[in-house]
Amino acid sequence: MLDLRDIKIAMDGGDLAANFVVPARQKLAVLGPSGAGKSTLLDAIAGFRPMHAGTILCDGAEITQSPPEQRPVSILFQDANLFPHLTVARNLGLALRPDGGRLSPDAAQQVAEALTRVGLSGYDDRKPGTLSGGQQGRAALARVLLQARPVILLDEPFAALGPALKVEMLGLVTEVADRLGATVLMVTHDPEDARRFADGVILVADGQAHPPQPTQEFFDDPPRAFVDYVG
Amino acid sequence: MALVSLTLGPIVAVVLRAGGLGAIGPGDWHAFRFTLFQALLSAGFSVILAIPVARAFARRRFAGRGVLVTLMGAPFILPVIVAVIGLIAVFGQNGVVNAILTTVGLPKIDVYGLHGVVLAHVFFNLPLATRMLLQAHLAIPAERFRLAASLGLGPWAFFRTIEWPLIRRIAPGAFAVIFVICLTSFAVALTLGGGPRATTVELAIYQAMRFDFDLGRAAVLAVMQLALALIAGIVALKVSHMDGFGVGRDRQVARWDGRSLWARGWDAAWLAIAASFLLVPLGAVILKGAPGLALLNADTYRAAGHSLAVALGSTALCLAWAFPLASKRGELLSLAAIAISPLVLGAGIFLMLRPYVNPFSMALPVTGLVNALMALPFALRILRPEAEAVEADFARLRATLRMTRGAWLRLVWLPRLRRPLGFAGGLTAALAMGDLGVIALFADPDRTTLPLQVYRLMGAYQMEAAAGAALLLLGLSLALFWLFDRGGRADA
């Protein structure tokens, strides 16, 4: 469970405010116009952006002041989710050994299983640059699986993929999230993504991140700000 | 921080020692004026001559152009003493130029004194000025040339609209940087200057310490030099962008100007003059040095060993410093080291060590230390942009993965910065290998470096052995640079 209590995040064009609870195991789409602060919201939850006010709790524990590396959060960015000079296996291994040490046979087994789960078995020794965009996305998701943290934040990591690949990725995200029992917040520009994948929608517009609304309800009676943006 | 205390400590020592000893003789004032005058001439000639050379490089395509542009960077890692040997071989008493002058019945020229000092400084800094201007030329958007061509601008209009603004933007900075470099240059003044009429402040410090053992006067001179260089350094920093030290990126831009026969001939002439001015002395070192290699004795080889040790030590120290300093603030801090002359630092360290140990026994470590300090600004110049890029690209990923400091350094930082590290390491090693500065203050016969050994052989009029040792020094410097740079490039 993720609890945002009256938070205010500094943005270029004024603050972004949010005050709501995300129940555990929910998968939410974060929708809204460009520049409204969708990524800002995720950055604040992940600890990459300071807040003016408010507190963030995760499963009852306050994380407002925690540095990014101490938050129970894994995040995928738009790009640069893998170190280009390290092999896929080495990249994934870092999730289990952040000190970069040698993996135990157990851990190596885990890495291999995670790769199999995302359909990349046998790609251990490849460098990310030799993989397609979809494969890179899958490798990054395999690492999220290994990180096994209760909150997963996705900042449009699949924006550059074609429609078919994106559908495949969303399926994979669902699978990973269900397996971990994790809460997911995914930024997207595409209402279709939200319909396909999300239990609910967080609308970010006009300096406000609105509380999540069930997906069906949201699209049946879309809020004014959303209609303006979709046109 | 260690760096600050290392830089400031010796200077404080110098100032303390100088306090109350305000005795500056007329000779010292002369040295002061000579220092300014030669730096002015050197910087002026370097920049003025660089203007047509850089333009010729910018608008001509010819076989060997790339090699020649690369060679323009070579004087930077060329040991001063090697260049001096080459210049003497060409312009000296028995050199090529004088041989020609004699046959046509003109009087001989003398390479020692003001001419020689300025000549050597131009030799080293003409390429630097050329690179700075050339980079600016290559940064001109291709559209502007197309526009100029479609407007049918004549040569004069072209110069006014495109080239003159560029010169006005770059030349003052180039002049200032070269002026500072020449203010603090020691080895050139030591080898080609000297005598009461051609003594720089640096040389006067050296003479006060070495021959008169007048530490008080040396300290006063050091303060004088420090003030001079700091003021000039601050001015240089303000007006320049310090471009042209790194790896030049060479871009090919289609141009339509300068296609007349006259313009072609003009450019060709400048390129030929610049190339021969740089290459003939180097060729002379190789020609004269090859037979001299047979004359190398055990002392020279020992000196070479010392030099290698100093160079490797300096490189390790410099790169270790560069790690935490690869930021904007660190770079500004280390830039102070460009203006502070090694001789002043050396003199300060000498004063600090004297109560505790025999300073002469510390000659090699002190040399290594000062060399590392001197190379640091260049190393940071190369490393900083890349280090910041790595930080910008991967800092968030590092945090979300909870990577430890060690893992970050070993798995990301070092591998991603391998190329600039190799380049910076090569530069430092070559600079340290060829340095003839502090070592001259401290050295006794048992602890010489190879550049000092070359100087001693010259002083003993063993010119052939000196040329041989210079060739050895040249080879070692280039080899060190090549090995480090190569190590950074070899793909893992």
CA count, 13 A, side-chain hemisphere, A41: 36
Question: pLDDT tens digits, residue range B318-343?
Answer: 888 887 776 666 666 666 666 677 77
- Picking from B67, B78, B74, B70, the residue whose alpha carbon sits closest to that of residue B476 is B78
Take residue B228 and report the two structure tokens written for it.
């001079």
| Whether A77 and B399 lie within 8 Å, measured CB to CB | no
pLDDT at residue B150 is higher than 90? no
Within 13 Å of residue B439, how many CA atoms lie on the same side as its CB? 28
Q: Which two tokens stand for residue B295?
A: 């004359």
Note whether B120 and B88 are within 8 A (CB): no
Integer Cα distance of A51 and A64 in angstroms = 8
Report CA dihedral (B393, A95, A116, A187) to the nearest 10 degrees. -50
We report the CATH number of the domain holding residue B45 as: 1.10.3720.10
Phi, psi of A9 (to 5 degrees): -110, 135
Interchain CB contact of A136 with B (< 8 Å): no
Residues A142 and A115: beta-carbon distance below 8 Å: yes
Q: What is the DSSP letter of B250?
A: P
- Would you call B397 and A85 a contact, using CB atoms and an 8 Å cutoff? no
Among B19-33, B347-361, B375-389, B421-435, top mean pLDDT goes to B421-435
pLDDT band at B492 (very low <50, low <70, confident <90, very high): very low
The owner of tokens 């002041």 is A65
Mean pLDDT of B428-435: 90
Mean pLDDT of B339-368: 80
Who wins on pLDDT, A123 or B260?
Answer: A123
Q: How far is it, in rounded angstroms, from Cα B25 to Cα B28?
A: 5
**Using the beta-carbon criterion (under 8 Å), do B410 and A81 form an inter-chain contact?**
no
Classify residue B487 as exposed, middle or buried by CB count within 10 Å of its CB (0-12, 13-18, 19+).
middle
A79 has a chain B CB within 8 A of its CB: no
Q: Which residue of B has its CA nearest to A153?
A: B400
* Chain B contact present for A86, CB below 8 A: yes
| A129 vs B: CB within 8 A | no
| Interstrand relation of A73-76 and A51-58 (parallel, antiparallel or unpaired) | unpaired
Q: Which CATH superfamily is domain A23-49+65-72+149-231 in?
A: P-loop containing nucleotide triphosphate hydrolases (3.40.50.300)
- Among A43-57, A190-204, B206-220, B300-314, which is the least confidently predicted range? B206-220
Helices (H), B326-362: 328-339, 342-353
Alpha-carbon span B44 to B47, nearest angstrom: 5
Over range B11-35, report the average pLDDT: 73
Residue of A207, A205, A198 whose CA lies nearest to A223: A205
Measured between CA atoms, the residue of chain B closest to residue A92 is: B401
**Closest chain A residue to the Cα of B404, Cα to Cα:** A99
- Neighboring chain A residues of B411 at a CB cutoff of 8 Å: 83, 86, 90, 94, 100
Which of A73, A85, A98 comes nearest B404 by C-beta? A98
Contacts of A46 in chain B (CB under 8 A): 396, 400
Range 146-165 of A in CB contact (< 8 A) with B: 147
**Using CA of residue A46, residue A50, residue A52, residue A57, what is the dihedral sign?**
positive
- Nearest residue in B to A151, CA atom: B400
Q: Are B188 and B178 in contact (CB under 8 A)?
A: no
Of A47, A80, A101, the CB nearest to B397: A80
**Number of domains comprising chain B:** 1
- Indicate whether B406 pLDDT > 50: yes
pLDDT score of B1 more than 50: yes
Amino acid A77 reads F
Closest Cβ opposite residue A98 in set B394, B403, B410: B403
Domain ranges of chain A: 23-49+65-72+149-231, 85-148
Instruction: Output the six-digit token pair for B302.
Output: 């020992």
> B420, B360, B422: which is closest to B387 by C-alpha?
B420
Helices (H), B19-112: 26-59, 65-73, 80-91, 96-103
Q: Do residue A83 and residue B406 have CB atoms under 8 angstroms apart?
A: no
Across all residues in chain B, what is the average pLDDT? 82
A128 Cβ under 8 Å from any chain B Cβ: no
Confidence of residue B249 (pLDDT cuts 50, 70, 90): very low
Range of the domain at B121: 2-489
β-pairing, A51-58 vs A27-31, is unpaired
Name which of B303, B290, B281 is nearest B83 in CA terms: B281
Check if the beta carbon of residue A16 is closer than 8 Å to that of residue A41. yes
Nearest chain A Cα distance for residue B328, angstroms = 22
Distance between CA B347 and CA B16 in Å, rounded?
Answer: 12
Indicate whether this complex's ipTM tops 0.95. no
A53, β-bridge pairs: A8
Neighbours of A41 (CB within 10 A): 26
Confidence category of residue B209, pLDDT binned at 50, 70, 90: confident
Which residues in chain A land under pLDDT 50? none
Angle at A105 between CA A102 and CA A110, to 5 degrees: 100
Nearest CA in chain A to B406: A99
Give chain B positions within 8 Å (CB) of A95.
Answer: 401
pLDDT at A143: 93
Q: How far is CA A175 from the centre of its chain?
A: 14
* CB contact (8 A) between residue A47 and residue B399: yes
Q: How far apart are CA A75 and CA A184, in angstroms?
A: 10
Confidence of residue B308 (pLDDT cuts 50, 70, 90): very high
pLDDT exceeds 50 at position B246: no
Q: Is B482 helix (H, G, I), strand (E, B) or coil?
A: helix
Considering only the beta carbons, identify the residue of B407, B416, B492 that sits closest to A100: B407
Q: At what angle do helices A133-147 and A105-117 cross, to 10 degrees?
A: 130
Does B367 score more than 60 pLDDT?
yes
| Partners of residue B399 in chain A, C-beta under 8 Å | 47-48, 67-69
Minimal CA–CA distance to A153: which of A163, A161, A165, A144? A144
From chain B, which residues contact A within 8 Å (Cβ)?
393-394, 396-404, 406-407, 410-412, 415-416, 492
pLDDT at position B247 over 50: no
- Shortest CB distance from A46 goes to which of B400, B401, B407? B400
Residue A93, chain B, CB below 8 Å: the answer is: no
Give mean pLDDT, residues B286-314. 88
| CB-nearest partner of B416 from A48, A70, A85 | A85
Task: Give the mean pLDDT of B193-205.
Answer: 82
Q: Does A231 touch chain B (CB under 8 A)?
A: no
Is the backbone of residue B60 left (phi > 0), alpha (psi -120 to 50) or beta? beta
Pair B312, B431: CB distance under 8 Å? no
**pTM for this prediction:** 0.78
- Number of Cβ within 10 Å of residue B425's Cβ equals 26
Q: Quick one: what percent of chain B has pLDDT higher than 70?
A: 89
Instruction: Show residues of chain A in contact with B492, CB under 8 Å.
Output: 85
A83 interaction partners in chain B (CB closer than 8 Å): 394, 397, 411-412
Pairwise CB contact (< 8 Å): B492 & A85 = yes
Determine the residue type at B22. Answer: G
Which residues numbered 22-51 in A keep a CB inside 8 Å of some CB on B?
A: 46-48
Report how far apart the first and last C-alpha atoms of chain B are (Å, whole number).
35
Query: Number of A:B CB contacts under 8 A?
Result: 59
Strands A213-214 and A208-209: unpaired
- Residues in chain A closer than 8 A to B404 (CB atoms): 98-100
What does the pLDDT average to over B211-227? 80
With contacts defined as CB-CB under 8 Å, which chain A residues touch B396?
46, 48, 68, 75, 77
Q: Which of A47, A77, A100 minimises the CB distance to B411?
A: A100
Q: Show residues of chain B in contact with A69, CB under 8 Å.
A: 398-403
The backbone region for B199, taken as left when phi is positive above 0, alpha when psi lies in -120 to 50, beta otherwise, is beta
